[in-house]
Amino acid sequence: RKEVEQDPGPFNVPEGATVAFNCTYSNSASQSFFWYRQDCRKEPKLLMSVYSSGNEDGRFTAQLNRASQYISLLIRDSKLSDSATYLCVVKGNTPLVFGKGTRLSVIA
Amino acid sequence: GAGVSQTPSNKVTEKGKYVELRCDPISGHTALYWYRQSLGQGPEFLIYFQGTGAADDSGLPNDRFFAVRPEGSVSTLKIQRTERGDSAVYLCASSPTSEGEQFFGPGTRLTVL
């Protein structure tokens, strides 16, 4: 079993739609959780950290359920510029462990 | 300010050759990481430096891969006897501390023919 598993995608949604990505992780000792965004042929960039209490940044909401080892990302009112690959990332002692990513295409 | 830079941006080599990939971290960042990203996959951890020493090299796939950071700043990833399976984008990241946010460079796209 992969350490971090994500919805395979791709997700093709119209502008203005709400889309949710899910992720599960296998290492119960994981300490920190993140969503990264990666545009085509570019480097990954931190989108947001994920906390047990849930956190929101504008149109983006991230949730963590430690008991279920499950992480989610909700994007409301999708924009064309949200088109990218979203990587679920888990941190243990030091290195980041990335999921394969879920590709989102927002269509006009 | 300047971000993480990596050179070259693209490298094409032949099977069996030796290559060096360079990473210039953000000034003052003590932690430096190397990752490898194959097509359709997320980045995979290779090695982590804290200062000059390799704190964790558990991700290096075999002894053909080696990395150094002699002065605690620039790092070089070295691959001996390259194989076609080494073709990937090699990403470098740095952070102010081992717990801080990691900032990625643009990567070096390595193609082994």
pLDDT tens across B15-73, in order? 999 999 999 999 999 999 999 999 999 999 999 999 999 999 999 999 999 999 999 99
pLDDT of A69: 95
Nearest to B96 by CA among B45, B5, B28: B28
User: Could you tell me which residues come within 8 angstroms of residue B62 by beta carbon, excluding any fewer than 6 positions away?
Assistant: none
For residue A4, the chain B residues in CB contact (below 8 A) are: 42
- The predicted-structure confidence for A37-90, as pLDDT tens digits, reads as follows 999 999 999 999 998 888 999 999 999 999 999 999 999 999 999 999 999 999
User: Is B41 in Cβ contact with A97 (below 8 Å)?
Assistant: no
Confidence of residue B97 (pLDDT cuts 50, 70, 90): confident
Summary mean pLDDT of chain A: 93
Query: Counting Cβ atoms within 10 Å, is residue A23 exposed (0-12), middle (13-18) or buried (19+)?
Result: buried
Cβ-nearest to A43 among B42, B44, B106:
B106
Mean pLDDT over A19-36 rounds to: 93
pLDDT of B86: 98
Indicate if the pLDDT at residue B1 is higher than 60: no
User: Is B45 in Cβ contact with A97 (below 8 Å)?
Assistant: yes
Indicate if the pLDDT at residue A3 is higher than 80: yes
pLDDT of B2: 85
Is some CB atom of chain A closer than 8 A to the CB atom of B104?
Answer: yes
The B residues from 3 to 32 touching A (CB cutoff 8 Å) are: none
Indicate if the pLDDT at residue A97 is higher than 80: yes
Beta strands A60-65 and A70-75: pairing type?
A: antiparallel
Provide the CB-side half-sphere exposure for B18 (13 A, CA): 5
The DSSP line for B12-36 is EE-TT--EEEEEEPPTT--EEEEEE
Q: Is the dihedral of CA B47, A5, A89, A40 positive or negative?
A: positive
DSSP state at residue A80: G
Residues A4, A93, B99, B55: what is their CA dihedral angle, to the nearest 10 degrees? -120
Per the CB < 8 A criterion, the answer to whether B107 and B34 are in contact is no
Indicate if the pLDDT at residue A30 is higher than 60: yes
Query: Counting Cβ atoms within 10 Å, is residue B109 exposed (0-12), middle (13-18) or buried (19+)?
Result: middle
